[in-house]
Amino acid sequence: LSGVALDLGGTKLAAARIAQGEVVARAQVATRGSASAAEQVRDMHALARKVGLDSSDRVGLAVAGRVDAGGIWRAVNTETLSNLDDVDLRQLASEVFARFVTVLNDAQAATLAEFHFGSGQGSAAMAYVTVSTGVGGGFVIGGVPVRSPNGLAGHIGFSTSRLATRRCGSGRMGTVESVAAGRAIAAEARRMGYPVDDARDVFDAWRAGGEWAGQIIDSSAAAVAGMCADLAAILGIDRVVLGGGIGLAEGYAERIRHHLDAEPPLFRPQLVGAELGQDGVLLGALVQPDRSES
């Protein structure tokens, strides 16, 4: 597994040079949420050059948003990436990088990487769940990654939670993302009158003993636990690999486990941390099968 990988999330854009499955150079900038697709790809290209992009490198992009079978890229939550204009990402990126570029959803990429090299190895029915700017995911059932022609399969953050009362940027009411995601955690803190920049500040307040912060984080974890139980019911998922800036934050998985314990055993998948951490998306961007899919 070698080449240059890009990970465009709702908060950060990361690039890595990967050699034989190891990250050997990396660079990161903040995501420009209101940039057009063409501007996003230009930002990715500029960052790729910072990790020494060479004309012989394979390049893989993993992006938030859905990428359909034809390579068209659209936001599902249009508050996170607000200006994507239904472009053919595969074609656009291949032009800008002057080579064939593979493209897929960020959570799908991490799903593949965790299944092949990380915490998903050997699982008969695994889900990857990222709790980050949004809530996303992917599945591998019987060794086969689950995909849909419209690129929406795996977008579990847009399933509903009994804890949620608001609409998220997908237009749906009461989604898991609207209560559990980083953006939702920060928004709830602001509504309660705490001037936070992002979810990280809420975690800091929780660790410093802020009960209000603990409540917000607990609602997030409870919504994710309910979603894990739903995945057990819908797809027979027996292992959930948890990633993302929030998913990997200290103490968060414990809160999910606490809520999962209230579910009947049949609906309690094993919950494990993503072994590849934040590198899963980058590694997965290069795992993607190949151009035969295009």
Which residues are near ligand BMX by CB under 6 A? 9-10, 64-66, 75-77, 80-81, 105-107, 130, 132-136, 155, 157, 177
Shortest CB 99 distance to ligand BMX, Å? 25
Residues contacting 23, CB < 8 A, separation 6+: 16, 17, 279, 282, 283
Shortest CB 76 distance to ligand ADP, Å? 14
Gyration radius from the chain CA atoms = 18
**Residue 77 binding result from ligand ADP, ligand BMX, none, given CB thresholds of 5 to 8 Å by partner type:** ligand BMX
Measured in whole angstroms, how far is the alpha carbon of residue 177 from the centre of its chain? 12
β pairing state of 59-63 and 3-8 = parallel
- Whether the Cβ atoms of residue 214 and residue 246 lie closer than 8 Å to each other: no
Which two three-digit tokens encode residue 184?
């939702």
Shortest CB 107 distance to ligand BMX, Å? 4
**Residue 198 binding result from ligand ADP, ligand BMX, none, given CB thresholds of 5 to 8 Å by partner type:** ligand ADP
Nearest to 107 by CA among 62, 148, 47: 62
Stretch that binds ligand ADP, among 32-40, 163-171, 242-250, 258-266 (CB under 6 A): 242-250
β pairing state of 125-131 and 72-74 = unpaired
Stretch that binds ligand ADP, among 83-91, 95-103, 141-149, 241-249 (CB under 6 A): 241-249
Binding mask 87-126 for ligand ADP (x = CB under 6 A): ----------------------------------------
